[in-house]
A = this chain, B = another copy of it.
């Protein structure tokens, strides 16, 4: 049975699926579709034209709830317009996402984070909270962002890559997350030691252990990763494109449009 609290506010033309629970003080924009069996906890704000899949949890309660549920107030969760949250996504209360946010199934995002616009978290990604993420970033399957991650704009992180933040775990007295600058590309299955910075347009090859900073425009690879060349020296081994990097030049007009990059019209094909 559907349960919509009287103190929740739904926009016009909203579709609410079966067995959905919308708790009090939720605010849902116009033209939103919420799939079956999803739960929106207190103070979830969801922008217009958004889609929520089945079995999604928005506003998962924070630790203070378990310590004293009666006195607890769920912090506000803000999800921007035109978002797509696929089935099984769990987003904790107390974060903010810009417009056009997208998740794959079973994504988990914790509290006190700020995501800009047009970010995509693929299936099973985890963001552990306290993170600052810019615009237009794409994280593929199962990427792990620990607390105190700082990411710029137009960054790509490929599947199963994991960043760390504790200098000598489990001490935790000093936490240093990664910093990834604009247009950087991080390959599949990489592991980053705490506090590493990756410069603008840099490329980290697959299965690398990144132990120190990677300069802008450089290619680093290996265990441990070493800088091996400039990104402009990377060749396509099938000779299908003249220069794969910077990827902004290589990516197709069609893909740039699909991902909503504002510069897509500058591209020829």
Which residues of A line the B interface, CB within 8 A?
1, 3, 17-19, 21, 33, 35-37, 39, 51, 53-55, 57, 60, 65-66, 69, 84, 86-88, 90, 104-106, 108, 123-124, 126, 128, 138, 141-142, 144, 156, 158-160, 162, 164, 167-174, 185, 187-189, 191, 193, 206-207, 209, 223, 234, 236-238, 240-241, 244-245, 247, 250-252, 255
Q: Are B33 and A21 in contact (CB under 8 A)?
A: no
Chain A to chain B contacts (Cβ below 8 Å), 9 pairs = A1-B19, A51-B69, A54-B57, A164-B206, A169-B185, A169-B187, A171-B247, A172-B252, A174-B238
CB distance from A102 to the nearest CB of B (A): 9
A126 adjacent to B141 (CB under 8 Å): yes
Question: Do B108 and A106 touch across chains, with their CB atoms under 8 A apart?
Answer: yes
Q: Please name all residues of chain B whose beta carbon is closer than 8 Å to the beta carbon of A35 when the two chains form the complex.
A: 39
Q: Is the CB of A245 within 8 A of B90?
A: no
List chain B residues, Cβ under 8 A from A171.
241, 244, 247, 250-252
User: Within the complex, which residue of B60, B138, B250 is in contact with A105, where a contact is CB–CB below 8 Å?
Assistant: B60
Q: Which of A87, A105, A124, A241 has the most CB of B within 10 A?
A: A105
Q: Is the CB of B57 within 8 A of A55?
A: yes
A205 to chain B, nearest CB (A): 10
A39-B54 in contact (CB<8A): yes
**Which residues does chain B contribute within 8 Å of A65, judged by CB atoms?**
51
On whether the beta carbons of A18 and B36 are closer than 8 Å, the reply is no
Known contacts: A60-B105, A223-B223. The answer to whether A168 contacts B236 by CB under 8 A is: yes
